[in-house]
Amino acid sequence: MTDKPLGALVSDWTTPVAPGPMTLEGRYCRLEPLSAETHAALLFNAFVDQDELYDYLPAGPFHSAAQYDRWVREVTSDASSLFFAVYDLRREAYLGVLSYLRIAPSAGSIEVGNINFSKAMQRSPVSTEAVYLMMKWAFEAGYRRFEWKCNALNKPSRQAAQRLGFSYEGIFRQALVVKERNRDTAWFAMIDKEWPAMKEAYRVWLDQANFDAEGKQLERLGDLTGLVRFASDPTL
């Protein structure tokens, strides 16, 4: 026997599978495995004249459909991540991308990232549901931890993480060099024991009854997830 503090036993947990090509569909959007042939030209057009959306991303902006096509082929050939195109079911258009990355089944940890939502998709149920579908699959597959990381200077991303129910975990200083600039990284995460209550918060928020005739929300998602979130971002 030892009197040293040790972590809780994880005896009833099975290592989950790594995500593979799949389609995830909700009420407002559908996530499809990203494909150069199917999506590149349409997504390039969705991001025209929105170069500022790439300020905190590792690649872009792209100034031709050919450039965007090459980027899609590059990221979809990398087995360390799994990219999706976001299809808006109401607008009938592809309006964004996001991915799984830092996929670690043996640790039960997975991250959502490379998020780039066009202006037409931002601040809408589509953008919220896209992330929800990713987290739903992860927790139902058996992952214990779902992560969100962003440039610490990217205040909208930090606000989004908190609204979506991710708990703030701190800043990794000088974590990366991106586009020849220093990047401090803000870390956020959600864990499996929080998921049942978070899932209920999303069910309430995404329900059509939560929106009036003009599409205005009645309940704010941040108010619902804030009841469950473990830690808040002190900068917000």
Q: Which amino acid is at 191?
A: I
Closest CA to 184 of 155, 221, 143, 222: 155
- 3-state secondary structure (DSSP) of residue 163: helix
Percent helix, strand and coil across the chain, each to the nearest 5: 30, 30, 40
Asked if residue 233 belongs to a domain, the reply is: no
Are the CB atoms for 148 and 164 separated by under 8 Å?
yes
Among 46, 190, 173, smallest CA distance to 119 is for 46
CATH of the domain at 34: 3.40.630.30
Residue 135 in any domain: the answer is yes
| C-alpha span between 139 and 132 (Å, rounded) | 11
Token pair recorded at residue 75: 């990221």
- Counted domains in the chain: 1
Distance CA 197, CA 184 (A): 31
Is residue 193 situated within a structural domain? yes
pLDDT tens for the chain, residues 1 to 236: 678 888 999 989 999 999 999 999 999 999 999 999 999 999 999 999 999 999 999 999 999 999 999 999 999 999 999 999 999 999 999 999 999 999 999 999 999 999 999 999 998 999 999 999 999 999 999 999 999 999 999 999 999 999 999 999 999 999 999 999 999 999 999 999 999 999 999 999 999 999 999 889 999 999 999 999 999 999 88
Is 231 inside any structural domain? Answer: no
Residue 15 lies in a domain: no
Instruction: Let me know if residue 10 belongs to a domain.
Output: no
**Tokens describing residue 217:** 């929300």
Report the alpha-carbon distance of residue 215 to residue 4 in Å, rounded. 55
Are residues 56 and 154 in contact, defined by beta-carbon separation less than 8 angstroms?
yes
The CA distance from 81 to 34, in Å, is 11
Task: Please give the Cα distance from 202 to 85 (Å, whole number).
Answer: 21
Q: How far is CA 225 from CA 195, 202, 215, 220, in A?
A: 10, 8, 20, 9
Q: Is residue 14 part of a domain?
A: no
Q: What is the pLDDT of residue 225?
A: 97
Q: Is 236 inside any structural domain? A: no
Domain encompassing residue 140: 24-225
